Structure 1
Amino acid sequence: MNFFERQRQVRRLSVRLVLLFVLAVVGIVVVVNLAAVFAFNATSADPGQLTGFVVLVTVATVVAIGLAALVRTLALRGGGGKVARELGGVPVPTDTTDPELRRLRNVVEEMALASGVPVPEVYVLADETAINAFAAGWTPSDAAVAVTRGALRRLNRDELQGVIGHEFSHVVNGDMRLNIRLMGLLFGILFLTVIGRGLARAGIIGGARPRGNNNSGGANPLALVGLALLVAGYVGVLAGRLIQASVSRQREYLADASAVQYTRQTRGIAGALKKIGGLSDGSELTSPKRDEVGHMLFGEASRVSWFATHPPLVDRIRALEPSFDPAELRELAQRWSAAPPSGRQEDIALGLAPAGPAGGQGGGAAPAMPAEGTLVRVGPTEVLGRVAAPTGTAFTHAAAILDRIPQPLLDRARSRDSAGPLLLGILLSADPSVRRQQDAALAERHGRDLAQAAGREADAVAGLHPMLRLPLAELAFPALRDRPDAELESLLAAVFTLIHADGAIDVSEYCLSRLLLAELAESLRPDSRWRPDRRTLTDSRSAAAHLLAVLAQVGHTDRAAAETAFQSGVAALRPGTTLPYAPPENGVLALETAWPVLDRLRPADKERLVAATVAVISHDGMMTVPEIELLRTICGLLHCPLPPMAGHGTG
């Protein structure tokens, strides 16, 4: 299943989620109405009064559930970090020197670069001794990855990579958005339990019935309604467990398989699952919110559950290791009961980390980066197969990228104070005339100090290989998100200033600036809408044609060659048709209005657009390294993360 099919599956799951939620609400409404009718002796009322009473109770119940779900969803608009903090998560500093935390950050950074997404926020659930983890957020730009303290202590680096790879599968494939919606809906259908407890307690404490009530049974209707709401609430609990199980179980198998694909080995994630089965703490969390987030965790949140949100542990291990014998878990449990494993010590024994305090990236010697003129044979089908599907080679490239970025630049990217100027420095144009205009615009609108700081950073990154510029900017993301909202708004304005300082900015610089502007905006203001307004290529033809025309124009000085490249893209976009080649007069700035339209395309149409983009950039079947990085930024703008590709099929 490729990325685009997975997107279609997530959309189908979203529809199923809504239908199951509606069915759960219907069941709850029926229970509440029956209880209310008997509690208030409405059975003897005439049909008109009975109907009005039922309608009133139904509306009140639906409104209570809807408002509770809406309020909870709005409360989660803070993104993945909000969810992590609710469960007791503690942010991992970007410049940490703690060995366990540094190892975690290194693994997350490598996985993000290998996946082609921004580096997420990283949290540790410091009070949880079990092995578990989750990823949460609305988009990759506001995502957070959290692991338990037990996972840091018990898992070696390979196993930690497997767990993080599993979570990144949820990040890049859109599962997080579905998960966080499910949190809001579950809160709505469980909310009546809270009301029911309160009413039942008040009714019991209140004792006698109100004066003037002629109910011969003598029962307190307040208590009865409270008990009915409790019953309805438990109907909601049952429905919630069913919804969680139906939405998440199959996705866990897919995420396990993706972790193997990312890391090129099964021993990591299989080893983590075995440690869950062999250690007494397992994956059980102590947080009172564990049931609310059970569907998004790496392992089961509790030992006993009516409906498991994950496949059986043995089945997950056997999917990775078909010859696995469950008796092995009993042997491991006996061995570890006396001496629990230490991930740090296993790293040292396996040669995955030095015995010193900090621990490196564990990657060995970094391979050389390909020269800018290196040609890479790339076709649309090959690119589509790699979207959101990093291989072990991509993971190796990510580790090499980290090793190739000079340490002073890495340090400044991870610093709260220098990450902003560094990002602006990366975005400053290499063309002296354009850069002068950008510098003047920055100084005029944002102050001379910021313009000078960005200029110094631009000089420092001037010699960076093209494959290192986007990764360096993505590495700065966690430090940027740690700044106050007002400073982030100012940085957004500064990036916008660079884009519009001069119309002569080249397409690569423009796309990188626009991608980082979009990511910053999404991290600051996550889009929590349900996104029902998907567009088709038919009603987005003008925007798609603008993109293909701009790419053809900037890639060729000869108009005939540019038109040939453009038509090859049109053929991939709409087979059997032709469009007039009419590059927009304002060049890349014409794309400012195109991105929102193209990003809303349906998965199948977006798949064709990516294929068309590849066809234009490489109409001869070959790409240079800068062209590959341009393609990666465009895919990022379309929310189709493309892993590093250089090194494959060079010619």
Structure 2
Amino acid sequence: MDFFAQQARVRSSSRRLVVLFVLAVAAIVAAIDAVVWLVLGHHPANGESARSNLPLLLGSSLAVVAGIGLSSLFRIRSLSGGGRTVAERVGAVVVPTNARDPALRQLRNVIEEVAIAAGVPVPDIYLLADELGINAFAAGYSASDAAVCVTRGCLDQLTRDELQGVIAHELSHVLNGDMRLNIRLMGLLFGILVVGIAGRRVIESNAERSSRRDGAGQIVLIGLALIGIGYIGYFFARLIQAAVSRSREMLADASAVQFTRQTAGIAGALKKIAALGLTSRLQMANRQEVAHMLFCAAGRSSELFATHPPLLQRIRALEPGFREEELIRIRTAMLRVAMQATASPLLASAPAPAMSPVYAGVIPGMAIPLVVPALLTGALASAGTPARGQFQRAAALHRALPTRLREAAQQPESALAVVLALAASAAEPQPAQRRIIVDAFGDDVLRAVQDVAADLASLPPGSRLPLASLAFPALKCLPAGRQQTLLVTLDAVVNADGRVDLGEYCLARLLRLQLLEAQRPRSAPIDGVKKLPACRDSVALVCAIVAAGGCSDEAGARRVWLMAMQHAFPGEAIEWTPPPAAWQAPFEQALDDLDGLLPVAKELVIQGIVVAINADDLVSVEEAELLRVICAGLHCAVPLQERLGAREGSCLAS
């Protein structure tokens, strides 16, 4: 399956549906204008006098647009809290960094590995501890503001690979800008509903006054029209919103396969939900607030208003040859495991504290309930186990990080010391760097930095940015002023010796980009509209910087650059220009320009850069880190690079 092509089709479909949504609002305005004209307007025989209705119709249009617009803005503002706010609003609890529950530790490890492999900061992690169905959601305007929340059922009933597929699907929603789109559609939906509510208020206020006064009947007619138009518009707007949500679910499934490099994980999770029937249902009262963000539907709904495509449709999009009969086999296997374990003497003699709450989900077409105690977790999870995913490198990087460093990265103040030590990039910070740190944060932070720096000396190659990614959730918890001081101090530390190497630049740039986006989540960019030819110069500059960073001479850099440019602009003759000595500022301006590209055009740029990086079948640590910075600047997932190795020299000025 060409997942990039599918993403382009889904995005195009979503844009058409959003246009329909806007047209629905325009139709409501026109319908209300027509009612106002019929009830209050003048109806002369000649067209010249008809112009006297223009002020009336203009005032009516402005009033309706203002009412819908202000109501929508109010609703959007009420929903505009970060991902953490949304998770806490539905009763989710933070997964502690030092959790003893093996399932929670596995959840944290999986999320951190997905984030490392996709090149995004680690999101905040939440659990719906009382929800026994298989479901999850992610909230946030961007990856820097994301929170991922899973149900207890996900932990107890999914394999590690299936959980990985679910997490990748949820992070895809954030990277694809789905929450921003959904919040805006929800705001417009509320604005349309307010039209009907306003009509009801008009009738109620008119009834409270004397009905004998002139114009009372006309006001009632207008009120009735507002009710009818408002609720009819709301009905059709809900249909469009549901269609948009369904299309974005298919996009998230395709994106999850990109991240995990395999279909079996997410497909396996979907198969288990389909085999067990209602196991994705949520019991919380306010589940509708996050219904459009969930991995699967939270309950029953009509096909017209369904926020998710049918499970079989999603499974077949991932595995075209899948047959419905396979669900019977999976269902039977899971039921057999449950029954055998229920009858087991070991289970009968198990002490009560070892038992978790039971899952009672009636399998469609069967009268007996499926009971899944905690002791069945391993056996049940093995049913339909997919092949191992392609995250071995990310998992290996994660495991290679010393426990002391991982724990330090999980607390705000110690995470501050970790990233400052990473910026110093030496076993012992230089005197100038020590003075900068003391001036900014004091002696205590300097001592913590020196302690951490000794541990960093033993880090394996390529671990610097993954460790910074692990520290990101803790850094977000620092006060805004302390975060700003950190960014200023990072720049000063990496410039303390008068030169900035590529690794130092990548660390400072990535943290600046992510922390600033986390501080202003609503300002995170959405899908661009520019086409590739409009950004030719920016593509050429970025590719030249990548080529120069991976080559020791200009001739080699020019050859690699031509390979990248021919991938992005096949057949075009483009003149090589070496990157400037002071390349950092032009590079960042070029990335800002490229961030406005269409998603398909961004993919071509990333593919061209990967061609340049892989030109010699060896990916240096600096090249891998630069690729992560580029992908973060373009708000894309980073392609996983397997061929990491050392390379001598670079012709990139520092």
Is the aligned partner of 1:415 residue 2:411? yes
Aligned to 1:385: none
Q: Give 1:34 shift.
A: 4.9
2:595 corresponds to which letter in structure 1? Answer: D
Secondary structure in 2 matching 1:394: coil
Name the % identity.
40
1:346 corresponds to which letter in structure 2? Answer: L
CA shift digits 1:28-80 (9 cap, x unpaired): 22443455556x55577884454433332222111111222233334444432
State the distance in 2 between where 1:641 and 1:152 align.
25
CA shift digits 1:219-245 (9 cap, x unpaired): 583x65444433333223322322223
Secondary structure in 1 matching 2:363: helix
CA shift digits 1:150-177 (9 cap, x unpaired): 5445555454334323223333444444
Secondary structure in 2 matching 1:418: helix
Is the aligned partner of 1:425 residue 2:455? no
Is the aligned partner of 1:148 residue 2:151? yes
Aligned to 2:306: 308
State the distance in 2 between where 1:341 and 1:25 align.
48
Contact 2:169–2:253 (CA under 8 A) maintained in structure 1: yes
Contact 1:263–1:392 (CA under 8 A) maintained in structure 2: no
Is the aligned partner of 1:348 residue 2:375? no
Aligned to 2:335: none
2:469 corresponds to which letter in structure 1? Answer: E
Contact 1:139–1:526 (CA under 8 A) maintained in structure 2: yes
Aligned residue among 395, 398, 411 for 1:402 = 398
Secondary structure in 2 matching 1:622: coil
2:24 corresponds to which letter in structure 1? Answer: A
Matches within 5 A, 1:316-355: 316-317=314-315, 320=319, 322-325=322-325, 332-333=363-364, 338-342=369-373, 344-349=374-379
Aligned to 1:56: 59
TM-aligned CA distance change 1:627 to 1:271, over 3 Å: closer
State the distance in 1 between where 2:275 and 2:611 align.
48
Aligned residue among 169, 173, 187 for 1:170 = 173
| 56-65 or 12-21: bigger deviation | 12-21
CA shift digits 1:318-371 (9 cap, x unpaired): 5557232376779735779645334x433333688xxxxxxxxx99xxxxxxxx
Secondary structure in 2 matching 1:134: strand
Secondary structure in 2 matching 1:642: coil
1:461 corresponds to which letter in structure 2? Answer: L
- Give the alignment's TM-score, normalised by structure 2: 0.79
Aligned to 1:521: 516
Is the aligned partner of 1:247 residue 2:248? no
Q: Give 1:197 shift.
A: 4.6
TM-aligned CA distance change 1:327 to 1:161, over 3 Å: same
Matches within 5 A, 1:196-207: 196-203=199-206, 206=208
Name which structure has the greater RCO, CA cutoff 8 Å, separation 6+: 1
Contact 1:279–1:337 (CA under 8 A) maintained in structure 2: no
Contact 2:270–2:311 (CA under 8 A) maintained in structure 1: no
State the distance in 2 between where 1:267 and 1:313 align.
15
Secondary structure in 1 matching 2:19: helix
Contact 1:159–1:267 (CA under 8 A) maintained in structure 2: yes
2:243 corresponds to which letter in structure 1? Answer: S
State the distance in 1 between where 2:314 and 2:534 align.
44
Aligned to 2:502: 507
Q: Give 1:510 shift.
A: 0.9
Is the aligned partner of 1:232 residue 2:229? yes
Matches within 5 A, 1:212-223: 212-215=213-216, 219=217, 221=219
Aligned to 2:470: 475
Secondary structure in 1 matching 2:462: helix
State the distance in 1 between where 2:367 and 2:432 align.
65
Contact 2:124–2:148 (CA under 8 A) maintained in structure 1: yes
State the distance in 2 between where 1:29 and 1:632 align.
47
CA RMSD of the aligned region, Å? 4.0
TM-aligned CA distance change 1:573 to 1:31, over 3 Å: closer
Secondary structure in 2 matching 1:601: coil
State the distance in 1 between where 2:388 and 2:446 align.
40
Contact 1:552–1:563 (CA under 8 A) maintained in structure 2: yes
Aligned to 1:586: 582
| 623-632 or 469-478: bigger deviation | 623-632
State the distance in 2 between where 1:607 and 1:42 align.
55
Contact 1:84–1:144 (CA under 8 A) maintained in structure 2: yes
State the distance in 2 between where 1:561 and 1:156 align.
46
Secondary structure in 1 matching 2:463: helix
Contact 2:163–2:269 (CA under 8 A) maintained in structure 1: no
Aligned residue among 478, 481, 489 for 1:486 = 481
1:28 corresponds to which letter in structure 2? Answer: I
1:322 corresponds to which letter in structure 2? Answer: F
Aligned residue among 98, 112, 116 for 1:113 = 116
CA shift digits 1:238-281 (9 cap, x unpaired): 22322223223244345445556727464764455544663656
1:240 corresponds to which letter in structure 2? Answer: A
1:64 corresponds to which letter in structure 2? Answer: G
Contact 2:193–2:231 (CA under 8 A) maintained in structure 1: yes
Residues paired across the two proteins, number: 605
State the distance in 2 between where 1:214 and 1:611 align.
67
Is the aligned partner of 1:637 residue 2:633? yes
State the distance in 1 between where 2:432 and 2:29 align.
64
Aligned to 2:182: 179
Secondary structure in 2 matching 1:490: helix
Secondary structure in 2 matching 1:146: strand
Matches within 5 A, 1:239-318: 239-256=236-253, 259=256, 262=260, 264=262, 266=264, 269-272=267-270, 274-275=272-273, 278=276, 282-284=280-282, 286-288=284-286, 290=288, 293-305=290-302, 306-317=304-315
Aligned to 1:102: 105
Q: Give 1:283 shift.
A: 2.3
1:525 corresponds to which letter in structure 2? Answer: R
State the distance in 2 between where 1:227 and 1:440 align.
73
Unpaired stretches in structure 1, ≥5 consecutive residues: 353-361, 364-390
Aligned to 1:19: 19
TM-aligned CA distance change 1:294 to 1:615, over 3 Å: same
Contact 2:397–2:463 (CA under 8 A) maintained in structure 1: yes
State the distance in 2 between where 1:11 and 1:160 align.
26
CA shift digits 1:267-298 (9 cap, x unpaired): 764455544663656425644461x5433322
Is the aligned partner of 1:66 residue 2:69? yes
State the distance in 2 between where 1:307 and 1:540 align.
40
Contact 1:256–1:269 (CA under 8 A) maintained in structure 2: no
2:307 corresponds to which letter in structure 1? Answer: T
State the distance in 1 between where 2:524 and 2:121 align.
21
State the distance in 1 between where 2:367 and 2:253 align.
24
Matches within 5 A, 1:374-389: none
State the distance in 2 between where 1:192 and 1:130 align.
37
2:323 corresponds to which letter in structure 1? Answer: S
CA shift digits 1:572-600 (9 cap, x unpaired): 45444242433312244553433322333
Contact 1:161–1:263 (CA under 8 A) maintained in structure 2: no
Is the aligned partner of 1:460 residue 2:490? no
